[in-house]
Structure 1
Amino acid sequence: MDRLSIILPAKNEGAALKDLLPRLRQAQPTAEIIVVNDGSTDDTREICADAGVVCLSSPYSMGNGAAIKRGARAASGDVLVFMDGDGQHDPADIARLLEKLQQGYDMVVGARDWGSQAGVGRGVANTIYNWLATRMTGHEVMDLTSGYRAVRADKFREFLHLLPNGFSYPTTSTMAFFRSAYPVAYVPIKAAQRVGKSHIRPLKDGVRFLLIIFKIATLYSPLKLFAPTSALFFLLGCLNYARTFFIDGRLTNMSTLMWSASVIIFLIGLVSEQITSLIYRRDA
């Protein structure tokens, strides 16, 4: 039977952990539980000690993704379960994730419904991410950014060098699994209201969420993003040329600029595709 390690990144989540850890131990009594204390200033260490779980502490905050990487390196289990330490995820759902994993999958993600999204803005953003990732991979992606997931430890550790230190580790790991042809499945879950204040800052992190869209493409197949963009610029150049030819009987610099941009964007996509292939290449 596979050994199980449960990893919870936590930054000042003591109030939630006090209730969550006993429930987690009751749901998975034989599992290794690791709380990665990401520079907390509350009583996270004491709560972990009282609950009898491993607590890996950083002297300062390095980010959610950094906590995930540290926990994955320290875990001894064959299967890793990642869940938030803020009380949103129900420990009872772990059994459902593991059951699905045993059906031959390498990653199983807890997919939140609309009612579990943290606000309308986040819900809309996640819907866009899911749609784009589905188009890129050719597989239905029900929740690209969910932090509740079960993975094969050996497969997940292959991509630790790709994971960012910030909040977008779920996006990166999911697209990396699809790119490497590791099967991914989804299990519907209900996420509760988090305990305490969110660490996500809409103004500062807005650009980061926008960049996730580009990360989705560049982690899977850059040409699928760059080729249509290149074709769009080429078409716009042709349309502008047709307009100026019939009106003024000449070719304008704008059309030439659009065609040049089309070629450059396509070449960037081609080079990016080769770089992506090298990133995922494994020695035989």
Structure 2
Amino acid sequence: MSPRVTIILPARNESAALKSLLPRIFAAVPSPDIIVVDDGSTDDTAAVAEAAGAHVIRHPYGIGNGAAIKSGAREANGEVLVFMDADGQHDPADIPRLLAKLEEGYDMAVGARGCASQASIGRGLANRLYNRLASYMAGHRIADLTSGFRAVRAAKFRNFLYLLPNGFSYPTTITMAFFRSGYPVAYLPITAHKRVGKSHIRPLRDGVRFLLIIFKIATLYSPLKLFGPVALSFFVSGLGWYAHTYATQGRFTNMSAFLMSASVIVFLMGLLSEQITTLMYKNNHSDN
């Protein structure tokens, strides 16, 4: 028997896109539960969603995309959750492809956008940087770190609700959390279409936020990947400075001592953090 599926769309002033998107979802997925989370819209987003047959959750004011995702996940009854943008970028015909990956044994399936689907050259380059950095931190290849189109097993997704930020970087957080926790993740190539209306993302502000989220999750789930290179750089710098001062002055300086001591302290901080994350990892799996 196929698991029950709930489709969650965070929406803020997306009434124009929802008029055509919601009927296409109903056509693509048999008897879906659809939740539209109205994140403080000032247009008729809620009315359009209700008229199409979706269940609507209303935020009294705009809290953020991640907050809408969390509200939808808490309300959903499905064993599988499908998240997609409400702006028309994602094709509902791709939903069965994502669900098929879960049937193969994956815990999360993500729609990965190609270069042609990026909103701009700058956004494409930034996403490529995020993907490479996150791949290093997670220890797995991440094809699209910021894609908001994904299917996931509800019980495992809810384990990480407390980590999800209220802003636009929930995909970053949940992707790295799943990889670090050993949950298999699949990527499927998709074509993202031009959105209907104006984007709510601010590239500079949200770009910095994405980087901070990557480092935050790395600290929580793989701290030695972050602390280790920093400790090594301090040690190499101290060793190099000692070699220089010994060759030119014939002595060991305070700067060399400081740099080498800092390397040991940073490494021990990373080692301690790694032990703490091991306990978190154990607790997450003991709940399943």
Structure 1 contact 133–216 (Cα < 8 Å) conserved: no
TM-score with structure 1 length normalisation?
0.94
1:221 aligns with 2:211: no
| 2:79 maps to amino acid | D
> For each residue in 1:171-223, what CA deviation from the matched residue of structure 2 results, as whole angstroms up to 9, or x when unmatched?
11111111221111111001111111111113333421221331352243111
Superposition pairs for residues 258-269 of structure 1, below 5 Å? 258-269=259-270
Quote the residue 1:154 is aligned against. 155
3-state SS in 2 of match to 1:195: coil
Match of 1:191?
192
8 A contact 1:89–1:192 mirrored in 2: yes
Whole-Å separation in 1 of the counterparts to 2:205 and 2:137: 27
Residue 251 of structure 1 deviates from its aligned partner by 2.7
Please give the secondary structure, in 2, of the residue aligned with 1:241. helix
Preserved contact between residue 8 and residue 82 of structure 2 (Cα < 8 Å): yes
Q: What is the deviation of 1:141?
A: 1.4
Residue identity (%): 67
Q: 1:135 — aligned with what?
A: 136
Q: Can you give the 5+ residue segments of structure 2 that lack an aligned partner in the other structure? A: none
Q: 1:252 to 1:119 in 2, by over 3 A?
A: farther
Aligned to 2:126, what secondary structure does the other structure show? Answer: helix
Deviates more, 1:4-13 or 1:119-128: 119-128
- Bigger drift between 51-60 and 240-249 goes to 240-249
Task: Tell me the secondary structure at the aligned position of residue 37 of structure 2.
Answer: strand
Distance (Å, rounded) in 1 between the aligned partners of 2:15 and 2:206: 24
- The answer to which of 199-208 and 87-96 deviates more is 199-208
Q: Show the counterpart of 2:87.
A: 86
Cα 1:118–1:253 change in 2 (3 A) is farther
Give the structure 2 partner of residue 7 of structure 1: 8
Aligned runs of 1:240-279 on 2, under 5 Å?
A: 240-279=241-280
Match of 1:21 in 2: 22
Alignment check: 8 A CA contact 1:178 1:220 kept: no
2:102 maps to: 101
Coordinate RMSD, CA, aligned: 1.6
Question: 1 CA distance for matches of 2:205 and 2:232?
Answer: 33
1:53 corresponds to: 54
1:172–1:219: 8 Å Cα contact kept in structure 2? no
- Report the Cα distance in structure 2 between the residues aligned to 1:275 and 1:18, rounded to whole angstroms: 48
Counterpart residue type for residue 279 of structure 2: L
Where 1:196 maps in the other structure, the secondary structure is coil
Q: Would you say how many aligned residue pairs link Structure 1 and Structure 2?
A: 284
- Supply the AA of the counterpart residue of 1:199: H
Partner secondary structure for residue 35 of structure 2 = strand
The residue identity in structure 2 corresponding to 1:236 is S
Deviations 1:77-116 (A, max 9, x none): 1111000111110000001111111101110000110111
Q: CA, structure 1 residues 171+219, in 2 after alignment: closer, same or farther (shift >3 Å)?
A: farther
State whether structure 2 residue 197 is matched by structure 1 residue 200: no
Q: Which residue of 2 aligns with 1:120?
A: 121
Give the equivalent residue in structure 1 for 2:236.
235
SS at match of 1:187: strand
- Comparing 39-48 with 172-181, greater Cα deviation is found at 172-181
Using the alignment, how far apart are the partners of 1:69 and 1:213 within structure 2?
19
